Structure 1
C-alpha cells in the first residue's frame, strides 16, 4: 500500500491502479492479475454485499436527520454490526452507535422506553451533563424501512430541550418526559435517540458529548386473515318408512276367497 501525496489526489481506478481514502489519507494499490475465490470467499462476499446494501439504506434514512457528526469509521462499523447480527435479524441493529465514541448509557441511568403506540418515555432520573452546557437536547428519530424492497416509506422526529441548573453541576435531576412520533406504512420501524449539549446558542462540538444510538427496532407484523365462520351442516332427517299393505292371496290369477 502506497500513500498518495499530490496536489490533486483522486479516488477510483486508473488503469491497474486503485486510489482510495482511508483514515483521511489517500492510498494506492494495484489490481491483482488473478483472483482466486473458494466457496467460503464467495459466501463471505455475498454476505458482506448484502450487509453493505442494508447499511447504505440505514444511513440514507437517518443521516439527513442527525445533528451530530458521525465518526469516520461509521460505514465499516455499521456493516460489521449487520454481519454480526445475522441475515434478516433486524432486531440485532439495536444498540448501534452512529458516534462510536459515546453511547446513551453514559447519560441515562435508565434508558428511554419506546412503546408500539409511538411514545418514547424517558423515566425520571439524574442526568449526567456537560459541565459547560446550559441546555440539553433530546431528539428521537424514527424511520420506517422496508428492507425487502429497499425503500424508506417515512421518517418522523420529535425533540425536547432541558434547561440545566446554573451554577453548572455534573448531574441534573430530570423529572421525565414523553415524546411522540408517528410513522405509518409498511416495513421495520427503527428508532434512534440523539443527545446534544449547547451553550447559549451554540452546540458543543465534542464527540464525547454527542450521542445517536439505535434504541429499538419494531418489526412490521403481517396482518392475519380473519377467520370465517362456516355454517353448520344441516342434519338430514331420515325418510319415513313406506307402509306395508297386506294383499290377498291369489290362486290361478283369481283372488282366493277364504272361507271361515
Structure 2
C-alpha cells in the first residue's frame, strides 16, 4: 500500500460517489483494476458489474452537465504554483471565458485547473470540475461550483469533449498532453467538427510544434494541414477571443 495514497488528502479519497479516509483508502484505483487483465475466471464475475458501474458514470455525468450551456475545457499542469505565470494566465482565461458567457471545465484539481476555476468563479461564471480517482488524491479545488467525480478516465474524458465547444491548453505534463492529443485526434478524424484548440505559451509548445512538422508530417504520419488544427498564442485574452468567436460562428450566433 502506498503511504502517499493513505495520507493523500485531508479531504479524503474519492472513489466515485464514495468518500474514503484513513485505512479505508484502497491500494489501487478502479482504472488500474480494470486494466490489470484477466485473473483466472474471476473477471467473469467482476467485469459485468464493472460495466454497470461504467454505465452509471456516464449517466451521472450526462445528468449533471446536460444543461450546462456553452463551455470551454481548460487544461494544464496540476503542479503549477499560484505565483507562477501559468497560474496567472489560467486565472485570466477562466475570468474572461465567464465574461464571454462560457462555463469553464477543468479536471477540478490544483495548479492551472484551480486557476481557471478560480477565474470563472470570481467572475460569476459556472466553474466545473471533473475529478478522477487517483493513487495520489488531489481533491476538488474550492473554486468548483459544479463538480463530478469519476472512477474511469475514459468516462471523464468523454465529458471534457461532449460538453465543451473548444479547448484552451496551458503548459502541462502527460495528462495535459493526453487531453490535447485526444482533442486533436477527434478533430482530425472529424468525430467533432470545427473544434477550436489553442495552446497558450508559444515558448513552451514550440518544440512540440516543430517536431510535429519536421518529423511527424515530414515522414507522412500526418498531413501538413493537420498542423492547422490548433493555434499557438501567448496572450490569454487573445486565446479566449479566438475560441469564443469560433464557437459563436459555428453555432450561428454571429
TM score, norm. by length of structure 1 = 0.21
| Structure with greater contact order relative to length (CA < 8 Å, sep ≥ 6) | 2
Compare the two structures and name the one with the higher strand fraction. 1
